[in-house]
């Protein structure tokens, strides 16, 4: 394995429920796969949850820290090497737990933040959405039962500068894991032809999309055969995320990667809308959200 550029440390947000054990296990799987230097396991306590117990704050923090550490030690003993450093952090946030996580991401210079997403009524998309919008790190949304493998990486692109960082990360991870890499483009007709629509033939659209793919991939010294390219012609922006997830699920992907820039859900960004909607879908596949970073060098894993 090789080190993944720009992923040196990782923050894992825990909520003291059953999902925590799988979050810890998946975090250690990633630490081995990505060669992570340090993991911060974090639990933010909302002040209102303490009731009249604020006077025993230190005792509460120590108790929570010990519970999390016990879970970590148990997983260490059964599954993991001990090369990766860990730190358990419990903090009180008076108003907003999500902001507490965002503050720690900045304070610890975190590169990748893991957020657990539960199924059905227990899902708290608002928490993940706020962290996604505010955090300086990339984000990985982890379902309740993630598989500890990355053999097929699925990257959503829109051929914009915004998606290049996500595609670069997909390339990096493919090299590190030996995973197959697939690209998927949602061709939004409304964006280019609104309000008139288009009468272009299917053949003409395919040729146009292939030209875009070739131009985009040439920036990375790649060709169409390297990335299993596919696309969907979509007239409704609001279901693009569902199309991406369904296509990745049907093709047995282990990880979805999508890029975004600025505030999640921005109307000017197709990928921003897709990212916001992916947060609210009950997924069985982890979703990695890549922020736009500056001064990062492109490189190719496939050669010219």
**Reduced 3-state DSSP string for the chain:** CCCCCCCCEEEEECCCCCHHHHHHHHHHHHHHHHCCCEEEEEEEEEHHHHCCCHHHHHHHHHHHHHHHHHHHHHHHHHHCCCCCEEEEEEEEECCCHHHHHHHHHHHCCCCEEEEECCCHHHCCHHHHHHHHHHCCCEEEEECCCCCCCCCEEEEEECCCHHHHHHHHHHHHHHHHHCCEEEEEEEEEHHHHHCCCCCCCCHHHHHHHHHHHHHHHHHCCCCCHHHCCCEEEEECCHHHHHHHHHHHHHHCCCCEEEEEECCCCCCCCCHHHHHHHHHHHCCCCCCEEEEECCCCCCCCCCCCC
Q: What are phi and psi of 58, to 5 degrees?
A: -60, -40
- In a structure prediction context, what are the per-residue pLDDT tens digits for the chain, which is 304 residues long? 445 667 889 999 988 888 888 998 999 899 888 888 899 999 887 766 555 555 566 677 777 777 777 777 776 655 555 677 888 888 877 778 888 899 999 999 999 999 988 765 445 556 777 888 888 899 999 998 899 999 999 999 888 877 888 899 999 899 888 999 999 987 766 555 444 445 557 778 888 888 989 999 999 999 888 898 888 876 555 567 888 889 999 999 999 998 875 444 444 345 556 777 777 777 899 999 888 665 444 433 433 3
Tokens of 120: 């059905």
Residues 202, 207: Cα–Cα separation, whole Å: 9
pLDDT of residue 299: 38
CA-CA distances (angstroms) from residue 211 to 51, 221, 298, 303? Answer: 61, 15, 21, 20
Contact call for residues 54 and 47 (beta carbons, < 8 A): yes
Nearest 10 degrees: Cα torsion 228, 143, 276, 98? -140
How far lies 87's CA from each of 9, 11, 101, 156, 300, in Å? Answer: 11, 10, 14, 33, 34
Predicted local distance difference test score (pLDDT) of residue 162: 73
What's residue 124's pLDDT?
Answer: 54
Cα–Cα dist 104/175, whole Å: 30
What CA–CA distance (Å, rounded) separates 10 from 152?
22
pLDDT at residue 253, rounded to an integer:
95
Which pLDDT belongs to residue 248?
Answer: 92
């Amino acid at each position: 394995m090789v080190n993944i550029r720009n992923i040196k440390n990782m923050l894992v947000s825990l909520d003291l429920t059953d999902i925590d054990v799988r979050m810890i296990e998946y975090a250690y799987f990633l630490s081995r796969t990505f060669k992570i230097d340090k993991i911060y396991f974090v639990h933010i306590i909302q002040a209102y949850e303490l009731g009249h117990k604020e006077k025993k704050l230190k005792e509460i923090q120590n108790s929570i820290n010990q519970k999390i550490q016990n879970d970590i030690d148990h997983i260490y003993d059964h599954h993991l090497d001990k090369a990766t450093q860990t730190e358990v952090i419990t903090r009180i946030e008076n108003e907003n737990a999500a902001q507490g996580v965002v503050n720690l991401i900045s304070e610890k210079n975190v590169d990748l933040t893991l957020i657990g997403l539960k199924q059905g009524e227990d899902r708290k998309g608002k928490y993940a959405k706020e962290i996604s919008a505010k955090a300086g790190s990339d984000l990985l949304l982890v379902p309740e039962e993630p598989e500890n493998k990355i053999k097929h990486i699925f990257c959503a692109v829109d051929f914009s500068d915004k998606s290049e960082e996500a595609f670069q990360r997909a390339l990096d991870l493919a090299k590190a894991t030996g995973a197959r890499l697939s690209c998927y483009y949602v061709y939004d007709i409304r964006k280019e032809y609104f309000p008139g629509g288009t009468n272009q033939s299917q053949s003409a659209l395919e040729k146009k999309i292939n030209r875009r793919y070739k131009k985009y991939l040439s920036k990375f010294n790649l060709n169409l055969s390297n990335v299993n390219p596919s696309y969907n012609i979509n007239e409704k922006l609001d279901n693009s995320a569902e199309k991406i997830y369904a296509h990745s699920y049907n093709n047995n992907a282990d990880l979805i990667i999508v890029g975004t820039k600025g505030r999640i859900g921005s109307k000017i960004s197709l990928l921003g809308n897709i990212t916001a909607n992916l947060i609210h879908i009950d997924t069985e596949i982890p979703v990695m959200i890549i922020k736009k970073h500056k001064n990062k060098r492109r490189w190719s894993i496939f050669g010219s």
